[in-house]
């Protein structure tokens, strides 16, 4: 899996309340949630994000509530992958389960600025800052995680696997 | 002989059918309960439908609680609640709680005896870690994990390393369980227990009643923790007897169990504590926060909406009036707490003081309804999070503190201590 896009860079402890504020949790429609992605941290985010862009943040990304609306909003806003120094545990699990690629890469985060062009090869774990030419090696996705993400989420991957077994 | 294990490792090993487990190990466990609410259940139900099974794994081991935006605040939230209600009826879910029986889930389920010692519980709500106060392994998950749990009765986990917080000695006047946990979060930070289990021990902890113990385990997630846990003792047993519907199992950490870190905390050094915006770890002594004026005070939530919290708040506010510039909103966490408040005369004390007393709901804690803040407004709340925009407008502010400090603050109009009331 390869991703490329413009980096949108944020700080540490980006919580799920700013990723998708509770005032929008009266719906679970992915496209409606995406309209308010990151609204309370960066009201201009939805206006500037393009399909394939990359979210970059420091430690503890996704802390707070267990709302799966957070990774769903990010994914449906067009973000291809989130790179952070570390992730809060429930968000980490939810991102994989909903098919949003995430990578822990502290060195890469330090070397990527807001607006830089970045490419990610999730199969090899290589992250490249095209703007500066620097690149880093992160942990690639293990095959079962890649299957879940490529399948579109845990449930879809499980169904595909069960279907393959049955066939 | 299995290796010495912590309570958490023992519970997980037993539910995985293994003689022993160690931190980092990936295991699959049988679940005793799967929980979801009116925000997280609709997505879980959507995912459940995709799995392709007709029925849930066990209709008696699923709890669905409409507590976040209920009684419903608008048409959209009513539609979400209806998705859950229809599913609960179709699947004959035993532990579905309609409005009128409903309470804030993490106060309700222990009170109703739905959770007990030794259980493994997943909940599509981050404060599911509350049930560690009863000696259970309980952790928050997302809707998809809850959906798979509802379908299969199983979930995979990475066994967490454990941190031990040994709190000993006597707490100062008006210093409570809330102050202990805020102090700990301030000490280790909002990711200080990331991926780990927080075990609370020591005579200060065992000296707390169940309501206080639940306050502490409830906020393990605010330090990034996977779970919080307190070993079963006579206080736990007395609480569970005649209440907990399934037989429970007690586990204790072995002599020689391995902890990632051990923190020794002298209770006498813990001040009445307040978390400043916009992180729970941004703590200061209340005594250094007296210049902060507030527009609203909220007493309630899964952290501090139980009877003992209401008793303490009422004791502080009795005979006083809420400051004219402050709105005080009191939200008992369950119908039982509501009723007990009336019988004990606490409701009259709050009403006499000029408080609004509400039916149970998560309401303002997550900025849902029943007390949303306007731009630039400030609230002090007994809730659990003070992130940007948590209780309303993104420019509003939330300060976190105990019920005693909340009651005093409502009277003073600025953050303060019960002793300041004179």
Task: Inform me whether the C-beta atom of residue A86 falls under 8 Å from chain B C-beta atoms.
Answer: yes
Among B80, B96, B79, which residue's Cα sits nearest to residue B88? B96
Q: Given an 8 Å threshold on Cβ–Cβ distance, is B80 in contact with A26?
A: yes
Beta carbon pairs, A and B, within 8 Å: 129
Distance, in Å, from the CA atom of A100 to the CA atom of A103, rounded to the nearest integer, reads 10
Chain B residues within 8 A of A15 when measuring between CB atoms: 385, 387-388
Among residues of chain B, what percentage have pLDDT more than 70?
Answer: 100
Using a CB cutoff of 8 Å and minimum separation of 24, what contacts does B53-57 make? B53/B151, B55/B91, B56/B91, B56/B93, B56/B150, B56/B151, B57/B149, B57/B150, B57/B151, B57/B152, B57/B153
Q: Given an 8 Å threshold on Cβ–Cβ distance, is A90 in contact with B140?
A: yes
**What per-residue confidence (pLDDT) applies to A164?**
57
Q: Indicate if the pLDDT at residue B32 is higher than 50.
A: yes
pLDDT band (50, 70, 90) for residue B64:
very high
DSSP string, B185-206: HHHH-TTTTTT-EEEEESHHHH
Q: Closest chain A residue to B128 measured between Cα atoms?
A: A66
Half-sphere exposure of B182 (CA within 13 A, CB side): 31
In the structure encoding, which two tokens stand for residue B186, read together? 């301030």
For residues A11 and A28, is the Cβ–Cβ distance under 8 A? no
Q: What is the pLDDT of residues B94-105, one digit of tens each?
A: 999 999 999 999
Q: Given an 8 Å threshold on Cβ–Cβ distance, is A97 in contact with B142?
A: yes
Among A119, A120, A114, A116, which residue's Cα sits nearest to residue A139? A120
**Interface probe with A: pick from B52, B144, B147, most Cβ of A within 10 Å:** B144
**What per-residue confidence (pLDDT) applies to A167?**
39
- What's the pTM? 0.96
Residue A65: φ, ψ to 5°: -70, 165
- Edge to edge, the sheet with strand A102-104 lists A102-104, A81-84, A54-57, A2-9, A117-121, A126-129, A135-137
Say what the ipTM of the complex is.
0.93
- In 3-state terms, chain A is what percent helix, strand and coil (to 5)? 35, 20, 45
Distance, in Å, from the CA atom of B190 to the CA atom of A13, rounded to the nearest integer, reads 8
Q: Given an 8 Å threshold on Cβ–Cβ distance, is B190 in contact with A60?
A: yes
* Cis geometry, peptide bond prior to residue B119 (ω within 30 degrees of 0): no
Q: Closest chain A residue to B393 measured between Cα atoms?
A: A40
* Cis geometry, peptide bond prior to residue B315 (ω within 30 degrees of 0): no
Q: Given an 8 Å threshold on Cβ–Cβ distance, is A64 in contact with B387?
A: yes
């Amino acid at each position: 899996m390869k991703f490329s896009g413009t980096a949108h860079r944020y700080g540490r402890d980006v919580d799920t309340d700013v990723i998708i504020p509770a005032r929008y949790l009266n719906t679970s429609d992915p496209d409606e949630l995406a309209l308010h992605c990151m609204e309370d941290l960066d009201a201009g985010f939805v206006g500037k994000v393009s399909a394939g862009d990359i979210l970059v943040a420091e430690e503890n990304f996704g802390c707070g509530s267990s709302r799966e609306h957070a990774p769903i909003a990010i994914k449906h806003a067009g973000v291809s992958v989130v790179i952070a120094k570390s992730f809060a545990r429930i968000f980490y699990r939810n991102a994989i389960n909903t098919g949003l690629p995430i990578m822990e890469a502290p060195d890469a985060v330090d070397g990527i600025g807001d607006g830089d062009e970045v490419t990610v090869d999730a199969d090899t774990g290589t992250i490249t800052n095209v703007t500066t030419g620097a690149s880093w090696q992160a942990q690639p996705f293990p095959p079962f995680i890649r299957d879940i993400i490529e399948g579109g989420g845990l449930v879809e991957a499980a169904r595909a696997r069960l279907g393959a077994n049955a066939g | 002989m299995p290796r010495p294990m912590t309570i958490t490792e023992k519970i997980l090993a037993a539910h995985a059918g293994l003689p022993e487990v160690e931190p980092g190990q990936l295991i699959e466990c049988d679940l005793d309960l799967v929980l979801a609410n009116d925000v997280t259940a609709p997505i879980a139900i959507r995912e459940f439908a995709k799995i392709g099974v007709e029925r849930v794994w066990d209709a008696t081991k699923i709890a669905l609680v409409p507590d976040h935006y209920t009684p419903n605040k608008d048409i959209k939230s009513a539609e979400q609640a209806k998705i859950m209600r229809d599913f609960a009826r179709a699947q004959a879910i035993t532990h579905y709680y309609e409005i009128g029986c409903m309470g804030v889930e993490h106060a309700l389920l222990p009170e109703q005896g739905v959770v007990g010692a030794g259980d493994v519980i997943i909940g599509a709500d981050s404060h599911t870690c509350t049930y560690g106060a009863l000696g259970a392994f309980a952790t928050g998950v997302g809707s998809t994990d809850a959906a798979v749990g509802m379908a299969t009765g199983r979930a995979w986990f990475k066994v967490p390393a454990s941190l031990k917080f040994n709190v000993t000695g006597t707490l100062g006047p008006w210093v409570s369980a809330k102050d202990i946990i805020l102090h700990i979060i301030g000490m280790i930070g909002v990711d200080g227990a990331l991926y780990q289990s927080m075990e609370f021990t020591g005579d200060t902890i065992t000296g707390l009643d169940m309501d206080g113990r639940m306050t502490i385990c409830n906020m393990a997630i605010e330090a990034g923790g996977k779970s919080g846990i307190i070993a079963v003792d006579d206080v736990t047993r007395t609480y569970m007897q005649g209440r907990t519907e399934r037989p429970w199992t007690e586990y204790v950490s072995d002599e020689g169990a391995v902890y990632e870190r051990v923190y020794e905390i002298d209770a006498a050094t813990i001040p009445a504590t307040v978390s400043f915006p916009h992180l729970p770890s941004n703590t200061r002594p209340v005594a250094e926060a007296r210049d902060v004026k507030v527009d609203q005070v909220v007493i309630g939530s899964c952290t501090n909406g139980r009877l003992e919290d209401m008793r303490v708040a009422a004791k502080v506010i009795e005979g006083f009036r809420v400051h004219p510039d402050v709105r005080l909103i009191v939200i008992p966490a369950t119908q039982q707490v509501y009723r007990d408040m009336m019988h004990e005369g606490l409701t009259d004390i709050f009403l006499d003081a000029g408080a609004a007393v509400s039916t149970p709901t998560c309401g303002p804690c997550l900025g849902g309804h029943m007390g949303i803040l306007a731009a630039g407004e400030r609230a002090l709340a007994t809730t659990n999070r003070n992130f940007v925009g948590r209780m309303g407008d993104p420019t509003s502010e939330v300060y976190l503190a105990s019920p005693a400090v909340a009651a005093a603050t409502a009277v003073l109009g600025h953050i303060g201590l019960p002793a300041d009331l004179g």
